[in-house]
């Protein structure tokens, strides 16, 4: 029993979320139908307490629970990102869920449980803990996607995500069982020691299946097919959540698995990552051009951005991992800001989702027009905004790893993607004004303003983020 307390100290954020989720369920059950409002506030407090436990906790790294769980700077960095995404989603979603009639107390509970799964996933140090974290996250996301039961599109989105998610979980589990069979251990360091410099065909098969399962959660090509339909069909706050925190967790575990479990199989996994990066950048850039729905546009945008993030991972170096971490932090801020604007798109109390609904926004709401335009410029990678630096770091890592052609294709697809981001800016400033939006909530306007100002002013003082990402990347090597 005495040895359990030091181990629990390393898993304090997870313990806070687990206890918090139980408290929320009991609170909701006791309060009944009146519980929806306070439940969100309590959930935000629980997630905030988890962040504080990471930021103020001991900087000592450790591997606990029989090598199943690792607490290091890499995990801390990604956990703070995931928790932040969950908190912002909950803060922005209250008004939308109330108006849509789906402000059930289960929504904050499921967000907390999904976030608990993400934290377990980010700190997984073996195949079993990886699968446990992934499934806890996924099962919560399946329910959240179909939360609006009376909406046919939301039900269809939930069903598509569930069916394809179950398939991807099966593939991941098959890959994990192959790896266990050939390596004789489930821990990542044990697998690295067992397979050495020359992995056999069975290990390569296991690695490919494992990456396929993780690729689904990252929504990279060729496992992206659910993304546009689920983004469009799910309620907008749910889409906001899908686009931010779970992506961070999926990229985190993919990075940890590749760097710590397969350092000797660089030639094998690099081919898979390079293919997924190229295909995702290309599809994300070209498929978004014809979109008319802003949420579908953001879906293809996120596929493209995951491709750009994988360029850094393909390098397989510390600089590459640092690039991935910086990219994910900047991507999440841009995405949350953009979705704050999408949540504000409401005419006569009814949400609108067409890109043309933004026409003439500069005349009806100049502040929102400016902030959203800055985010679009940043997503396009226009200097000196933060989105440019995010791409710069991953492309430089690829160049240093002699993957010149990958960086060149990344720059070219980035130029193609700029077309549809700039088209949104053109519609906002130069098209005939559409009906004015209803007044956005204070939280939505605040998130939009802070996100765009962070992107605009990142170049003034990038040191804190870059240093934190460097420290996090170093702990993996």
What pLDDT was estimated at residue 1? 44
Q: Is 327 exposed, middle or buried (CB count within 10 Å of its CB: 0-12, 13-18, 19+)?
A: buried
Selection from 292, 284, 295, 302 nearest residue 355 by Cα: 292
Please tell me whether residue 475 adopts helix, strand or coil conformation: coil
Identify whether 216 is part of a domain. Answer: no
Identify whether 382 is part of a domain.
yes
**What are the pLDDT digits (tens) for 308-346?**
999 999 998 999 999 999 999 999 999 999 999 999 888
Decide: residue 254, CB within 10 A, 0-12 exposed, 13-18 middle, 19+ buried: buried
- Band (pLDDT 50/70/90 cuts) for residue 197 is confident
Inside any domain, residue 114: no
Domain that holds residue 433: 264-477
User: Average pLDDT, whole number, for the chain?
Assistant: 89
In a domain, 14, yes or no: no
Asked if residue 408 belongs to a domain, the reply is yes
The DSSP letter of residue 260 is I
Asked if residue 20 belongs to a domain, the reply is: no
How does pLDDT run across 264-316, given as a tens digit for each residue?
Answer: 888 888 999 999 999 999 999 999 888 889 999 999 999 999 999 999 999 98
Partners of 69 in the β-ladder = 64, 124
* Contact predicate 428/368, CB 8 Å: no
Report the candidate in 392, 378, 81 with the shortest Cα–Cα distance to residue 248.
81
Cα 264 to Cα 4, 228, 260, distances in angstroms: 34, 36, 10
Q: Is residue 172 in a domain?
A: no
Return the bridge partners of 124, or none.
69
CA distance 90 to 307: 27
CA distance 276 to 399: 18
In a domain, 273, yes or no: yes
Q: What is the pLDDT of residue 353?
A: 84
Q: How many domains does the chain have?
A: 1
What are the pLDDT digits (tens) for 112-134?
999 999 999 999 999 999 999 99
């Amino acid at each position: 029993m005495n040895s359990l307390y030091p181990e629990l100290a390393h898993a304090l954020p997870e313990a806070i979320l687990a206890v918090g989720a139980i408290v929320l369920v009991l609170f909701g059950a006791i309060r009944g139908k009146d519980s929806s409002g306070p439940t969100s506030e309590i959930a935000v407090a629980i997630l905030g307490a988890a962040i504080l436990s990471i930021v103020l906790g001991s900087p000592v790294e450790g591997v606990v629970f029989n090598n199943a769980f690792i607490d290091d700077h890499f995990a801390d960095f990604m956990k703070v990102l995931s928790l932040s995404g969950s908190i912002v989603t909950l803060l922005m979603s209250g008004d939308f869920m109330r108006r849509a009639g789906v402000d059930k107390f289960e929504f904050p509970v499921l967000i907390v449980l999904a976030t608990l799964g993400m934290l377990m996933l980010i700190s997984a140090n073996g195949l079993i803990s990886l699968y446990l974290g992934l499934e806890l996250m996924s099962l919560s996301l399946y329910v959240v996607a179909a939360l609006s039961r009376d909406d046919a599109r939301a039900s269809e989105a939930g069903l598509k995500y569930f069916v394809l998610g179950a398939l991807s979980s099966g593939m991941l589990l098959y890959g994990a069982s192959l790896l266990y069979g050939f390596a004789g251990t489930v821990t990542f360091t044990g697998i690295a020691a067992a397979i050495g410099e020359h992995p056999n065909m069975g290990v390569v098969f296991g690695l490919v299946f494992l990456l396929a399962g993780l690729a689904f959660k990252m929504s990279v090509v060729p496992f992206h097919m659910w993304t546009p339909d689920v983004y469009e069909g799910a309620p907008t706050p749910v889409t906001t959540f899908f686009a931010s925190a779970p992506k961070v967790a999926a990229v985190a575990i993919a990075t940890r698995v590749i760097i710590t479990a397969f350092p000797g199989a660089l030639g094998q996994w690099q081919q898979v990552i390079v293919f997924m990066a190229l295909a995702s950048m290309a599809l994300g850039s070209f498929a978004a051009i014809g979109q008319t729905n802003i949420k579908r546009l953001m879906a293809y945008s996120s596929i493209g951005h995951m491709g750009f993030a994988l360029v850094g991972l393909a390098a397989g170096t510390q600089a590459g991992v640092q690039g991935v971490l910086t990219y994910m932090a900047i991507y999440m801020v841009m995405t949350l800001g953009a979705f704050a604007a999408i949540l504000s798109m409401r005419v006569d109390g009814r949400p609108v989702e067409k890109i043309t609904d933004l026409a003439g926004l500069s005349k009806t709401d100049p502040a929102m027009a400016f902030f959203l335009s800055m985010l679009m410029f940043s997503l396009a990678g226009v200097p000196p905004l933060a989105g440019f630096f995010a791409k710069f770091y991953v492309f430089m890592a690829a160049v240093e790893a002699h993957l010149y052609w990958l960086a060149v294709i990344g720059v070219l697809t980035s130029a193609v993607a700029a077309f549809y981001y700039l088209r949104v800016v053109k519609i906002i400033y130069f098209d005939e004004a559409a009906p004015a939006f209803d007044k956005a909530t204070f939280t939505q306007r605040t998130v939009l303003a802070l996100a765009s100002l962070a992107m605009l002013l990142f170049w003034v003082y990038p040191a804190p983020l870059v240093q934190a990402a460097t420290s996090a990347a170093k702990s993996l090597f």
